[in-house]
């Protein structure tokens, strides 16, 4: 019986809560269609932004990974070196055994090794290009002395092999005729291997088809190489030639006495002869698997890196597949590792933007919900007075808000997917926004009617009422203190750990919300300071003449319902300034990074000469040229145990370059002072104390040279070491000319800094970039390329777009605040109109009433926007976005603040003018009759 009664009561309660709800929801939606449409648009835009930002970053990350693989070039190729036991050779007796299928066997081995690669690596690499080559040796082709090597290149597609070269003279190499057996012979028989030579190289060295070559190779017997044909290469960019530029053209000789260097081509037909007569230890057989950069993205990069590490640590599966020992070398893993830090920073920055935009968007949705409920307050209270339950009020609100939220959320997701496919990383935030938009109107409506006609009694005496108010204040203080504590904890954690330093390698959402939490916590301080400040202004206004200051400050200090608008405005403006300040910091940091990485207008690195320095100084448009030489790993003092790289610099020109670019060159000029037999030196701070305890000198080829330490080095020129890789304790800077005079030997520079408007043209005129191993870096080109790289470009664009969106949110929040407070303000202005208040003064009163909140939001938001980057310095990984060697200093500019002020000012003026225009339509007779509007 009890159960039946409970069920009946439950059914009755459900009917009471839902009866007529669809009809009421539909009618209310029609009456407030404009506000609901605005809410739907805000939700759709916010959802779209929460999905688009991660998608943009994901696309940029994929492009960055792909570009990194492309820039790595052949160093990212997976190279499998296949070892082999000694093949069939001559020994002490003649042999005629050779494998005519050597090329086909090599292709099968290459395919087998590829199939044995880990799946992640196999999926992004194509069939391998095989090659067999000897070391570079001295030899003579015809009558010309050259350096050369034998090389075979095999296309994985056998059908394309014959088309790799075109034979323009003579014939393609073919199997050589094996020498006949001679039982009376006392020595080893002479074998031949037919080869080809590139046509232009042959013309340079005077080689003709039929000429013979003698090389100092490890063979199993006497061998003659016969040049049977000359060839050209139709497609020099084909990947099979990537490691054999000497098969494409002749090069200058590396040593005197040689006419030059060129490789000799072995074909499929002559490869069996080469493998027969050349000892296995003199043949390097390797297969090069080139990764398809289009298949490598941010999602697959971790798995590929793991696969590379795995196959390099344990290549036994490859060895089993090939039947020979296999070793793997590649820079693909280190290339992807190098970009992974930038990807992590990009995800952290993305999460900050998403949570900031979504947080402000959610606050705007709350403002819209409060305005919606405020407009319906009379009807909601009337329903409650007639006996409606809180549940029925909430159900009717949900029937209205849930469909709108779902439709708007789906529309935003659809727009985002049409603009850019989503990777799903922003789905959680988008769903949270839809839930907030769906539940907030019902929650606000329920809270609005909760205490109406509930029978709750108010304490009769003042002390009890004060106690109740004190408990309310205590709850508010606890809530605010909790939020501030969370914000402080987030700041401490993010400064110590960074945004991406979680155990999973992902982004901690709590830490990513640090800017939003800091902005909210700082807004609470503004909200606490504003009321007493307004009351003080109100008291001061009473002592002066004029209606506007008195009424405006009194109303502003007594106004209710401005806490959420103030929070929304302040947070939005704070994040606008934060985004703008971050953009300025990145731009300044990138410019500083370009200076640090180049040191001058143009930086040249590689095997250079002192003549290059002299020639560059004579070029037009060049104002200063400084050569830098590096002598690596020198012990400072006898048996001191302190090692350093000796940096020999052209001190005077380098000081001029430093001063031209806004840096101090005073310390560098000290290097040209003192006794030239004991060159002046600047030492790194890390070794200054150790050097002070010994007599500083260094060992050179001409003996020991003493040094006179005159100071500690500031910004050292960043140069490459000599490649020894030996760790050192620091660096020592010495003037190059002075040191060369002291040691009696000229130090050739490895780096040249060129300054002036004609710096790049000078390097081009001397054709420095065309030299092997020489790189030329132009500062402006490096800076532009770095700024245009996908991650950096999209980060700046997202920050600027977020600034615009947040400014729009701030303007909308101000409009909603004006609309929410218009009823009380209308009552006051209506009463004043009956006393003779004119329209202009009414507009001034409206503006003056709203100005304190807007001004507090602008001032507080500006302070917050500058405070957040300072607090989160180092956590956002901006040094990875700038390309510098250290965290960029905070750069504060005027345009973010001015932009925020302009948006708020325009929105405030327009809103006041619109409200004043609406108020002018009120009829004074109705005001006198009704008493209020």
Q: Cα separation of 142 and 881, whole Å?
A: 57
pLDDT of residue 723: 46
Q: Cα separation of 707 and 692, whole Å?
A: 12
Alpha helices for 118-178 (secondary structure H)? 119-122, 158-161
Measure the N-to-C terminal CA separation of the chain; round to a whole number of Å.
55
- Contact criterion met (CB below 8 Å) for 348 and 876: yes
Q: Cα separation of 756 and 125, whole Å?
A: 45
Q: Cα separation of 287 and 549, whole Å?
A: 85
CA distances from 844 to 412, 544, 646, 838 (A): 40, 17, 73, 10
Q: Cα separation of 646 and 638, whole Å?
A: 16
pLDDT of residue 46: 92
Please give the radius of gyration of the chain, using alpha carbons only, rounded to the nearest integer: 40
pTM for the full predicted model: 0.81
> 734 CB contacts (<8 Å, ≥6 apart)?
646, 647, 648, 649, 671, 679, 680, 681, 707
pLDDT of residue 11: 61
Alpha helices for 324-426 (secondary structure H)? 332-375, 377-385, 390-419
- Contact criterion met (CB below 8 Å) for 341 and 877: yes
Q: Cα separation of 121 and 110, whole Å?
A: 15
User: H or E segment at 97?
Assistant: none
Q: Cα separation of 145 and 254, whole Å?
A: 13
User: H or E segment at 232?
Assistant: strand 223-232
Q: Cα separation of 676 and 706, whole Å?
A: 10
Q: Cα separation of 312 and 306, whole Å?
A: 10
- Contact criterion met (CB below 8 Å) for 769 and 776: yes
Question: Concatenated DSSP letters for 293-318?
Answer: GGG--TTTHHHHHHHHHHHHH--HHH
- Contact criterion met (CB below 8 Å) for 664 and 658: yes
- Contact criterion met (CB below 8 Å) for 227 and 209: yes
pLDDT of residue 410: 92
- Contact criterion met (CB below 8 Å) for 224 and 212: yes
CB atoms within 10 A of CB 867: 19
Question: Concatenated DSSP letters for 526-544?
Answer: HHHHHHHHHHHHHHHHHTS
CA distances from 228 to 166, 175, 194, 196, 209 (A): 13, 11, 6, 6, 5
Measured at the CA of 644, the angle between CA 641 and CA 650, to 5 degrees, comes to 150
- Contact criterion met (CB below 8 Å) for 709 and 692: yes
Alpha helices for 634-704 (secondary structure H)? 651-660, 666-669, 685-691
pLDDT of residue 198: 92
pLDDT of residue 45: 93
Question: What angle, 0 to 180 degrees and rounded to 10, lies between the N-to-C axes of helices 427-450 and 390-419?
Answer: 160
Q: Cα separation of 176 and 534, whole Å?
A: 103
pLDDT of residue 406: 92
- Contact criterion met (CB below 8 Å) for 232 and 198: yes
Per run of 10 residues, the mean pLDDT along the chain (length 933 residues) is 59 57 68 85 92 88 89 88 58 57 89 91 90 90 88 89 90 84 68 90 90 84 88 90 88 77 91 86 89 89 91 89 88 88 82 86 90 81 75 80 90 90 80 91 83 63 76 81 82 71 57 78 79 74 68 62 78 88 89 86 88 89 90 77 84 88 82 84 82 79 80 66 61 87 84 90 86 85 89 89 91 85 71 68 75 83 84 76 82 86 87 74 58 48
> 27 CB contacts (<8 Å, ≥6 apart)?
none
Q: Select from 454, 452, 456 the least CA-distant residue to 379.
A: 452
pLDDT of residue 809: 92
pLDDT of residue 750: 87
CA distances from 113 to 106, 365, 743 (A): 11, 59, 54
CA distances from 248 to 172, 201, 439 (A): 16, 9, 72
pLDDT of residue 20: 56
**Would you mind telling me the total number of residues written for the chain in this entry?**
933
Nearest 5°: phi and psi at 91?
60, -135
CB atoms within 10 A of CB 284: 15
User: H or E segment at 112?
Assistant: helix 102-116
pLDDT of residue 503: 46
pLDDT of residue 571: 85
CB atoms within 10 A of CB 122: 16
> 471 CB contacts (<8 Å, ≥6 apart)?
none
Q: Is 505 left (phi over 0), alpha (psi -120 to 50) or beta?
A: left
Torsion, Cα of 105, 109, 110, 114 (10° steps): 150
Q: Cα separation of 94 and 581, whole Å?
A: 81
Q: Select from 193, 911, 885, 292 the least CA-distant residue to 597.
A: 885
Measured at the CA of 490, the angle between CA 485 and CA 492, to 5 degrees, comes to 95
């Amino acid at each position: 019986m009890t159960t039946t009664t409970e069920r009946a009561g439950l059914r009755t309660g459900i009917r009471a809560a839902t009866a007529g709800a669809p009809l009421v929801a539909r009618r209310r939606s029609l009456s407030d269609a404009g506000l609901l449409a605005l809410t739907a648009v805000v939700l759709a835009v916010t959802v779209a932004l929460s999905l688009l930002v991660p998608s943009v970053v994901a696309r940029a990350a994929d492009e960055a990974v792909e570009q990194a693989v492309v820039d790595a070039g052949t160093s990212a190729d997976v190279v499998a070196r296949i070892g082999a036991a000694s093949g069939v050779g001559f020994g002490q007796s003649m042999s005629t055994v050779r494998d005519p299928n050597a090329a086909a066997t090599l292709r099968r081995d290459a395919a087998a090794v590829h199939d044995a690669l880990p799946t992640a690596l196999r999926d992004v690499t194509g069939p391998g290009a095989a090659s067999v080559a000897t070391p570079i040796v001295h030899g003579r082709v015809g009558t010309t002395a050259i350096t050369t090597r034998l090389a075979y290149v095999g296309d994985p597609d056998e059908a394309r092999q014959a088309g790799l070269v075109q034979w323009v003279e003579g014939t393609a190499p073919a199997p050589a005729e094996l020498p006949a057996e001679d039982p009376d012979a006392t020595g080893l028989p002479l074998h031949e291997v037919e080869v080809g030579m590139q046509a232009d190289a042959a013309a340079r060295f005077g080689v003709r088809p039929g000429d013979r070559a003698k090389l100092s190779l490890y063979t199993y017997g006497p061998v003659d190489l016969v040049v049977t044909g000359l060839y050209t290469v139709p497609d020099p960019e084909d990947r099979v030639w990537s490691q054999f530029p000497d098969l494409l053209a002749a090069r200058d000789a590396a040593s005197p006495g040689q006419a030059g260097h060129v490789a000799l081509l072995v074909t499929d037909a002559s490869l069996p002869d080469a493998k027969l007569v050349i000892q296995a230890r003199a043949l390097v057989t390797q297969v090069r698997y080139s990764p398809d950069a289009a298949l490598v993205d941010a999602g697959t990069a971790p798995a590929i890196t793991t696969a590379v590490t795995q196959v390099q640590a344990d290549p036994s599966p490859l060895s089993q597949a090939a039947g020979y020992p296999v070793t793997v070398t590649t820079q693909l893993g280190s290339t992807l590792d190098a970009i992974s830090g930038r990807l992590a920073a990009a995800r952290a920055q993305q999460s900050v933007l998403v949570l900031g935009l979504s947080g402000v968007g959610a606050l705007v949705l709350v403002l819209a919900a409060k305005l919606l409920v405020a407009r319906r307050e009379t009807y909601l209270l009337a329903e409650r007075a007639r006996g409606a339950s809180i549940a029925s009020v909430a159900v009717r609100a949900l029937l209205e808000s849930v469909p709108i939220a779902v439709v708007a959320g789906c529309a935003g997701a659809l727009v985002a997917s049409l603009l850019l496919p989503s990777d799903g990383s922003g789905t959680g935030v988008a769903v949270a926004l839809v839930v907030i938009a769906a539940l907030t109107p019902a929650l606000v409506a329920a809270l609005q009617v909760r205490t109406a006609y509930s029978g709750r009694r108010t304490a009769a005496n003042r002390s009890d009422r004060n106690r109740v108010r004190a408990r309310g204040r205590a709850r508010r203080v606890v809530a605010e203190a909790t939020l501030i504590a969370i914000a402080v904890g987030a700041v401490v954690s993010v400064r110590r750990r960074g945004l991406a330093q979680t155990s999973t390698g992902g982004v901690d959402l709590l830490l990513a919300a640090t800017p939003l939490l800091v902005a909210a916590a700082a807004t609470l301080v503004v909200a606490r300071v504003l009321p007493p400040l307004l009351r003080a202004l109100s008291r001061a206004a009473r002592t002066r003449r004029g209606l506007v200051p008195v009424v405006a400050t009194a109303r502003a200090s007594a106004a209710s319902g401005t806490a959420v608008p103030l929070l929304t405005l302040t947070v939005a403006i704070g994040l606008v300034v934060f985004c703008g300040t971050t953009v300025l910091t990145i731009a300044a940091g990138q410019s500083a990074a370009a200076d640090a990485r180049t040191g001058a207008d143009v930086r040249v690195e590689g095997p250079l000469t002192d003549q290059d320095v002299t020639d560059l100084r004579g070029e037009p448009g060049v104002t200063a040229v400084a050569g830098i030489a590096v002598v690596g790993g020198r012990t400072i003092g006898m048996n001191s145990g302190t090692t350093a790289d000796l940096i020999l610099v052209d001190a005077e020109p380098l000081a001029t370059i430093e001063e031209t670019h806004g840096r101090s060159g005073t310390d560098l000029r000290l290097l040209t002072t003192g006794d030239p037999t004991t060159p002046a030196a600047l030492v790194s701070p890390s070794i200054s104390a150790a050097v002070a305890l010994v007599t500083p000198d260094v060992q050179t080829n001409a003996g020991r040279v003493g040094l006179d330490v005159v100071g500690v080095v500031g910004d050292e020129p960043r140069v490459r070491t000599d490649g020894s890789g030996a760790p050192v304790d620091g660096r020592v800077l010495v003037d190059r000319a002075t040191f060369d005079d002291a040691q009696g030997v000229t130090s050739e520079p490895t780096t040249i800094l060129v300054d002036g408007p004609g710096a790049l043209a000078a390097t081009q005129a001397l054709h420095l970039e065309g030299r092997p191993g020489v790189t030329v870096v132009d500062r402006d080109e490096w800076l532009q390329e770095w700024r245009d790289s996908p991650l950096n470009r999209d980060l700046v664009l997202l920050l600027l777009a977020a600034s615009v969106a947040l400014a729009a949110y701030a303007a909308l929040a101000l409009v909603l605040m004006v609309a929410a407070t218009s009823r009380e303000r209308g009552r006051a202005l209506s009463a004043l109109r009956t006393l003779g208040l004119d329209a202009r003064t009414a507009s001034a009163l409206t503006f003056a009433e709203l100005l304190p909140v807007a001004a507090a939001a602008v001032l507080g938001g500006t302070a917050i926007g500058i405070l957040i980057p300072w607090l989160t310095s180092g956590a956002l990984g901006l040094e990875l976005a700038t390309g510098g060697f250290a965290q960029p200093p905070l750069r504060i500019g005027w345009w973010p603040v001015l932009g925020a002020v302009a948006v708020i000012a325009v929105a405030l003026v327009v809103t006041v003018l619109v409200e004043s225009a609406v108020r002018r339509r009120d009829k004074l007779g109705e005001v006198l009759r009704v008493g209020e509007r």
